[in-house]
Amino acid sequence: AFKGVRLKITGTMNVQWQEIEAGNLIDYEEFERVLDEDIEIFTPNLRDRNKRWIFPGTHEYKFEYQLPDTLPFSLDDSKYGHIEYKSKALVLVPGRSPVESLEEDFYIVSRNSEAEEAQLSAMEGKYDLENVEYGNIGGGLFTRKSKVEIVLNLDRSVYKQGQVIDGNVEISVEQGKVGVTGCALLLVQETVFTVDPGSSSEMKKKEILVVGTSEDETDVKPGDTHTYP
């Protein structure tokens, strides 16, 4: 006999890291099941002898499920935290445990609310489109250090998912014996993880991940300026 098909959808959020305090190794952990759904996909009419059996062959059961719009988006490349979503199908058979499929991962991509979109739009133009940093390169026993100026120019101060970041990097090196052998631009994502939020034992951990890179190996000779598009 055949009792039906169900779909199990789960989502878990796990934050964990370790700190050494007073010589002791302390674990900080936060776990939450953000989604746990057991959905009826198909239930046969057990009164009908021809429908209460599942016969050899391929059987397809369509379904629809509306994901809650408050779910946190997937996070899988972090050292300190993970947000994972999984699904699996179950075939219900009387008198024995359900026959389960392999778990299938699925991903939820972040989407801003209307209020957040309005806040982002209001921030456009409030941040500088140019950032300047100064530093020293080279230097050793027989050569002195050379000063370098790095200018990053962007076409916008606020970007959204799917948009192209357009800008350039300008590098100037002072006269001397040391030059620059290229430029690398990194796109980073900063995440703050929190355990026991709002309590007296609340702890936070910041993580910065490199999510994109762009490199150009064009040299900048001493005394020259070069713009990397």
Model confidence over 120-160: pLDDT tens digits?
888 888 888 899 999 998 877 777 888 999 999 999 888 88
Q: Is 11 exposed, middle or buried (0-12, 13-18, 19+ CB in 10 A)?
A: buried
d(C-alpha 117, C-alpha 172), whole Å: 38
Q: Is the pTM of this model over 0.75?
A: no
How far apart are the two ends of the chain, measured CA to CA in Å? 67
Query: Mean pLDDT of all residues in the chain?
Result: 88
What does the pLDDT read at residue 91?
92
Look at 50 and 172; give whichever has higher pLDDT.
Answer: 172
What does the pLDDT read at residue 108?
92
d(C-alpha 171, C-alpha 179), whole Å: 10
What does the pLDDT read at residue 5?
93
What does the pLDDT read at residue 93?
86
What does the pLDDT read at residue 105?
95
What does the pLDDT read at residue 36?
96
Single-letter amino acid code for the residue at 91 = V
Indicate the range of 12-16, 41-45, 114-118, 209-213 predicted with least confidence.
114-118
Single-letter amino acid code for the residue at 139 = G
Torsion angle in degrees (nearest 10) through CA of 151, 155, 158, 159: -110
Assess contact for 15 and 195: CB atoms under 8 A. yes
What does the pLDDT read at residue 121?
82
Q: For 80-108, give one letter per residue: b (16+ CB within 10 A) or e.
A: bbebbbebebbbbeeeeeeeeeeeeeeeb
Is 116 in a helix, a strand, or coil?
helix
199 band by pLDDT with thresholds 50, 70 and 90: confident
Is 83 in a helix, a strand, or coil?
strand
Average pLDDT for residues 91-101, to the nearest whole number? 89
Question: Dihedral sign, CA of 190, 195, 197, 199?
Answer: negative
What does the pLDDT read at residue 169?
94
What does the pLDDT look like over 6-59, one tens digit per residue? Answer: 999 999 999 988 888 888 888 888 899 999 999 999 988 877 777 777 778 888
- Nearest Cα neighbor of 204 from 19, 74, 11 is 19
Q: Which residues pair with residue 152 across a beta bridge?
A: 131, 169
Average pLDDT for residues 173-178, to the nearest whole number? 88
Look at 139 and 197; give whichever has higher pLDDT.
Answer: 197
| pLDDT tops 80 at residue 182 | yes
d(C-alpha 173, C-alpha 175), whole Å: 7
